[in-house]
Amino acid sequence: MTDSTTPAPRATKTAKAAPAKPAAAKPASAQPAAAPAAPTAAAPEATPLAEQLMALDLSAAPGFFRALVDFRFTTFITRRIAGFIYAILLVSIVLSGLVAFFSIVVTGVGLMTGGQPIPGLLTVLAAIVLAPIATLVAVVLARMIVEVNVALVAIAENTAGLRRR
């Protein structure tokens, strides 16, 4: 899906670079490569940009947005966005872990300077031990949740041919 959009602009760039080199040596070989590109673009000077936009719009975006409004759920987007969702979860969990760690340490230091050194020291030690463990557990659980969802979608995609309509 995303891979299909990436090679199209690369092929276009390669096709542009290839006729430029033979154009100096062999002008006849450059004309067949340029002839199919001319009818697809509206303006001759905007051919490279127009081809890239056409490749991007026709292969990636409409499929994704069509899948968003597919009320029969015949197209799945979970595999396409699973990595993005996991990255968001990972960043959120790490930032939350850091905020929790520093707030607990500040609370412990406040207790120590407020005349309660033992509870303050225990609070700081708890932050040093428990905040990283809780963050690690949350990262593992987030990964498991994303993997379960991707696995369920993979099962649904692989068994779609077996169900009778």
Examine residue 73 and state whether it is found in any structural domain, yes or no: no
Verify that 98 and 148 share a domain, yes or no. Answer: yes
Percent of the chain with pLDDT over 70: 61
Please state, in angstroms and as integers, the Cα–Cα distance from residue 160 to each residue in 65, 80, 89, 149, following that order.
Answer: 21, 18, 30, 16
Indicate the pLDDT class of residue 62, thresholds 50, 70 and 90.
low
Please state, in angstroms and rounded to a whole number, the distance separating the CA atoms of residues 152 and 82: 12
Indicate the pLDDT class of residue 70, thresholds 50, 70 and 90.
confident
Examine residue 142 and state whether it is found in any structural domain, yes or no: yes
Q: Using the 3D structure, point to which of 25, 45, 68 is the last residue of a domain.
A: 68
Verify that 150 and 131 share a domain, yes or no. Answer: yes
Examine residue 163 and state whether it is found in any structural domain, yes or no: no
Examine residue 134 and state whether it is found in any structural domain, yes or no: yes
Examine residue 16 and state whether it is found in any structural domain, yes or no: yes
- Range with the lowest mean pLDDT among 49-53, 89-93, 105-109, 114-118? 49-53
Q: Is the pTM of this model over 0.75?
A: no
Verify that 12 and 36 share a domain, yes or no. Answer: yes
Domain interval for residue 141 = 78-158
Examine residue 114 and state whether it is found in any structural domain, yes or no: yes
Asked whether residue 105 carries a pLDDT value surpassing 70, the answer given is: yes
Give the pLDDT score at 126: 95
Q: Using the 3D structure, point to which of 19, 34, 68 is the last residue of a domain.
A: 68
For residue 118, count CB atoms less than 10 angstroms from its CB and return exposed for 0-12, middle for 13-18, buried for 19 or more. Answer: exposed
Instruction: Note the pLDDT tens digit of each residue in 106-158.
Output: 999 999 999 999 999 999 999 999 999 999 999 999 999 999 999 999 998 88
Q: Using the 3D structure, point to which of 68, 93, 117 is the last residue of a domain.
A: 68
In total, how many domains does the chain have? 2
